[in-house]
Chain A
Amino acid sequence: MALTSIGASGEAAVQAQVEAALRGRRTEVRGRVFEVGLLVALLVSLLILGVLLSRIVIDGWPVYTDRGWRFLDGSLSGNADRAGISQGIVGSFWIAICVIVVAFPLGVGAAIYLEEYAPRNRLTSFIELNIRNLAGVPSVVYGLLGLAIFVNAFGGFAGASGVDRRTLVAAGITLAVLVLPIVIITSSEAIRSVPQSLREGAYGVGATRWEVIRSEVLPYAAPGILTGALLSIARAVGEAAPLIVVGAVTGFFSRGGGLNVGNVVDPSHLTDRFVALPSIVTTFAKQPDEAFRVENASATIMAMLVFVLLVNSIAIVLRNRFEKKRSQ
C-alpha cells in the first residue's frame, strides 16, 4: 500500500511538471509588451487626431464668438479683425458643383465600361493600369495640367486673356479631373460586387445590356457609387495645391482680393477669378501676423472641416450600413 501511495504521489508530481512545461510561463512578458506596443501605436494615431482637432477649435473658436456670421459672410480683407471668407465659400461651392457635373457621369461611365463591356484585352488592362497610376499622380501635377491646358490653351473657358484666364471653372474642371480616378475605382468596385445572378436573371427575360445595367446593376451598386462620389467631393473641396498652381488669388488680400460675392449660386462666378477655402487657409497661414496665421486660418479650417468631415462621415456610415446589410 505504501508503494502505491508513493507511486501515486510521484505520478501527480510528474503530471504537474509536464503540465507546467506545456503551459509555459503564465504571463508571457514579451507577448504582452508586443501587444501593448501595437496598442500604443494605434492610440498615438488617434491621440494626434484628437490634438489636431482640439487645437484647430481652440485657435479658431474666438473668431466665431467675436464675429459670428460676419466671418462667414464677410469679404477678404487685409485687416485681421474684419476679414471674412465668403468668396472662399463661393469658390468651394462651385468646385463641388464642377466635380458633381463633370467627374461623376464620366467616372461612373468609365467604370461601367470597364466592368460590363470591356473585353479582356491589352487595351483594357492598359486603361486600368493607367487609371491606377492617375490616382497616384501628385495633386500639384494636376495643377500644371490645369494651368497648361484649361487656363493657357483654352483661355480658362471664358475667352479671357492674361491673368483673367485663371477662372473658377478652369480650377473646378482641374479638380474634377483630379478626382476622376477615385470615382472610377470606387464605382468599379461597387459594380463588381453586384451578384452575377441578377444580371443573368435580367438577360434571361430578354433585357439588353444597357437595360440590365440600368435596371439591375446600377440600382444595386448605387450605395457604393454614392460613397465614392461623396469621398471625392470631400477630397476636391479640401485640395489646395492644384488651385494655387491653376491661379487662385493669393497674396495679401488688401482690397478684398478684388472679388465680388453677390449671390452665391450665380453661375457667372465660374468665369471670374477665384479663391476657395483651402487657398484662403494657405494665404492666411503664410502671413507673419498671428491673428491671420493662427486665428483666422484655424477659423477658416473649421468652416472647411465641418463640410469635409460631414461628407466623409456620411460616406463611411453609408458604406458600413450597406456592407452589413449585404453580408446578412
Chain B
Amino acid sequence: MAATTLPPPGGPAPGPSVDLSGDPRRHRRERTMGAIFFLSAFLSLVISALILISLFSNGTEFFTDVDWGNVFGASSWNPRQDQFGITTILAGSLIVTGIAMLVAAPLGLGAAVYLSEYARPNIRTALKPIIEVLAGIPSVVLGVFALNWIAPEVVGRIFGREHSAGSMMAAGIGVGILTIPLVASVSEDAMRAVPDSLRQASAGIGARKMSTTLRVVLPAAVSGIVAAMILAISRAIGETMVVFIAGGAADSATYTTNPLDGSLTMTAAMASLAVGTENVRGSGLAVPSLYFVGVVLFFFTFLLNLIADRFVRRVRQVY
C-alpha cells in the first residue's frame, strides 16, 4: 500500500489519468488507411451506377423517339437505314449461343468428369494447366480461327462449299470453344467439392465407377454444374469479337433462323455500329440504338449471372 502512494521515480503519476492510447499519428494513419480501403470497395458500386447511367441516359432518346412497330416488326437490323428489327439480332444471339452450348456443354462437362473422377493425379496436374491456357486465349484469336479455319474446314466440309465464308454456325462453334474452359473448370470444382465419403459409400455397396459417377457424384454436384452452364450461356451471349469477325455479316442483317446464314448478334451489332460512329452518322437514332442494345444485353446477362450466383452459393452451403 505504501508503494502506491510513492511518486514513481522520473515518470508521470500513475492512476486513471495515464494515457494508454498511444501515438496519435498511428491512430490517424489507421483511420486514413481504413477510409482508403472502404472507398476502393465502394468504387465498385459507383462503377455499376455509372454503367446504368451511361446506358440509360444515352438510350432514352431511342426509347422515346423510336417507332416501336419498327423495332418489333422490321425484318432486318440496319440502324443506318432506320431498320431496328430487334428480333433479327435476338434470333442471332439465340442461335449462336445455342450452337456454342452444343459444343461447350458435352466437351466441357466430359473433360471435367474425366479430370475429377477418372484421371490419375499426375495426369490431372499435367492437363489442368493446358485447359487454363485455353481459357486465357483472347476472343479475337478465336474469331480469326473461326473465320479462317472452322468456316472452310469444318462448316464448309460438312454443309457444302458455299458455306465456307463466315456464318453463325462457324461463329457459334468458335464461341463454344471459347466457353469450354469455363464449363470445365466450374463443373470440375463442383464435383471435387463432393465429399469422398459419398463415393466410398457408393463403392462400399458395390456400385461401379460409372454408377457412382452418374448416380452419386453428378446429382450431388448438380447445382454447380447448372451454374457452369448458365455462366457459359451468359458468356456466350456477351461474346462479341468471334461473331463480329466470323459471323458473316457486316453492319446489317436480315432476319434468319438458318444457322448457315450470316447474321448479327446483339453484341456484334453493337461492335459494327461503334466501328462506324465517326464516319456514318446515319439517322439520329443509330447511336442511341447502340445503347438500347446495350441495355437489353446488360439485363439478359445480369439475370443469368444472378441465377448462376444462387446456384453456386447453394453448393457452398451444402458442403
Chain A interfacial positions (CB closer than 8 Å to B): 28, 30-31, 34-35, 37-42, 44-46, 48-49, 51-52, 55-56, 59, 105-107, 109-110, 112-114, 116-118, 126-127, 129-134, 136-145, 147-149, 163, 166, 177, 180-181, 184, 208-210, 213, 231, 234-235, 237-241, 244-245, 247, 250-251, 278, 281-282, 285-286, 293-294, 297-298, 301, 304-305, 308-309, 312-313, 316-317, 320
Asked if B139 and A240 make an inter-chain contact with CB atoms under 8 angstroms apart, the answer reads yes
Q: Which positions 1-59 of chain B face chain A at CB distance < 8 Å?
A: 26, 29-30, 33-34, 36-45, 47-48, 50-51, 53-55, 57-58
Assembled-state Cα–Cα distance A302/B26 (Å): 51
Would B110 and A41 count as touching, CB distance under 8 A?
Answer: yes
Q: Provided the pairs A31-B210, A145-B54, A238-B139 are in contact, do residues A210 and B29 lie with their beta carbons within 8 angstroms?
A: yes
Q: Which one, B125, B140, B294, contacts A278 given CB within 8 A?
A: B140
From A132, A141, A237, A294, B294 is in contact (CB under 8 Å) with A141
State the majority secondary structure of interface residues on B: helix
Q: In the bound complex, do residue B43 and residue A110 qualify as a contact, i.e. CB atoms below 8 Å apart?
A: yes
| In the assembled complex, B217 has its CB within 8 A of some CB on chain A | no
Q: A137, B136: Cβ atoms under 8 Å?
A: no
B48:A52 contact, CB within 8 angstroms: no
- A285 close to B40 (CB less than 8 A): no
Give min CB distance, A193 to chain B, whole Å. Answer: 16
Chain A residue with Cβ nearest B138: A238
Note all chain A residues with C-beta closer than 8 A to B318. Answer: none
Given the interface pairs A282-B241, A312-B133, the reply to whether A145 lies near B51 with Cβ below 8 Å is yes
In the assembled complex, which residues on chain A have CB atoms less than 8 Å from the CB atom of B298? Answer: 137-138, 141
| Assembled-state Cα–Cα distance A117/B115 (Å) | 38
Does B240 reach chain A (CB closer than 8 Å)? yes
B interface residues, how many (CB within 8 angstroms): 93
Query: CA–CA, A245 to B277, complex, Å?
Result: 9
Cα distance A285–B210 in the bound complex, in angstroms: 45
Quick one: which of A37, A44, A145, A308 contacts B138, CB cutoff 8 A?
Answer: A308
| Residue in chain A with minimal CB distance to B211 | A31
Interchain CA distance A59-B145 in the complex, whole Å: 10
Within the complex, which residue of B37, B42, B214, B239 is in contact with A112, where a contact is CB–CB below 8 Å?
B37
Chain A residues, Cβ within 8 Å of B34: 113, 117, 209-210
Please give, as numbers and ranges, the residues of chain A lying within 8 Å of B147 by CB-CB distance.
285, 293
